[in-house]
Amino acid sequence: MDRTEKLTRETKETKVTVELNLDGSGKNDIDIGYKFMNHMLTLFSRHGNIDLNIKASGDLTHHVIEDVGITLGQCILKALGDKKGINRYGSALIPMDESLARCAIDFCGRKALILDLKLNEECNIEDVAVEDIKHFFNSFAENAKMNLHLEVLYGSNDHHKTEAAFKALARSIKQAKTIVSDEIPSTKGIL
């Protein structure tokens, strides 16, 4: 089964290209123009065992990060195909020094988002605003049509909290995408 996908999304605001292999080893080439998000998406690829190339450019930080979330979510949804045999659910509890993140996901075909990253809303993290990071997870969950419950339980450093959250999401996806049977994992027969 081939679980590779490539999508280009171009609007008057941004141009985003995402290319991925869900059955990869975590190789990546990522440049969306913002160093902190490059760092987060690189470790997302590595910890999710997803080969991931992303190139993005555009007018405003908010637009670029939002549109990367949209395109990455769409690309994962397409690559999952009919979801036959996948584990469907995934969860992870990931520390990053003093911070702890908890994630639980369901590739159920519907968006739900519970997000509590406990970030300082007034501050940027490196070159990215906290509201843009929160918006990324919203766009991603909506377009991957998934339930995403992502919370930082505690921590004091906003870089660590965000990094723990991205790693917890990646480890959850790694579990949820794994092929464990030859059935659609739903009593409805469709996901």
* Least CB distance to Mn ion at residue 163 (A): 5
d(CA 94, CA 118) in angstroms, rounded, equals 15
- Between residues 66 and 163, which has the closer beta carbon with respect to Mn ion? 163
* Least CB distance to Mn ion at residue 36 (A): 9
Structure tokens at 61: 């930080």
Residues between 102 and 161 with contacts to Mn ion, criterion CB under 5 A: none
d(CA 180, CA 75) in angstroms, rounded, equals 21
How many residues bind Mn ion (CB under 5 A)? The answer is: 1
Beta-bridged to residue 94, according to DSSP, are: 101
- Between residues 106 and 163, which has the closer beta carbon with respect to Mn ion? 163
Residues between 49 and 88 with contacts to Mn ion, criterion CB under 5 A: none
> Which spans in the chain are helix H?
35-48, 61-80, 130-144, 158-176
* Least CB distance to Mn ion at residue 76 (A): 23
Residue sitting closest to Mn ion (CB): 163
Q: In angstroms, how far is CA 23 from the centroid of its own chain?
A: 16
- Between residues 6 and 35, which has the closer beta carbon with respect to Mn ion? 35
Phi/psi at 146 (5° precision): -130, 155
Residues between 157 and 186 with contacts to Mn ion, criterion CB under 5 A: 163
Contact footprint for Mn ion (CB under 5 A):
163
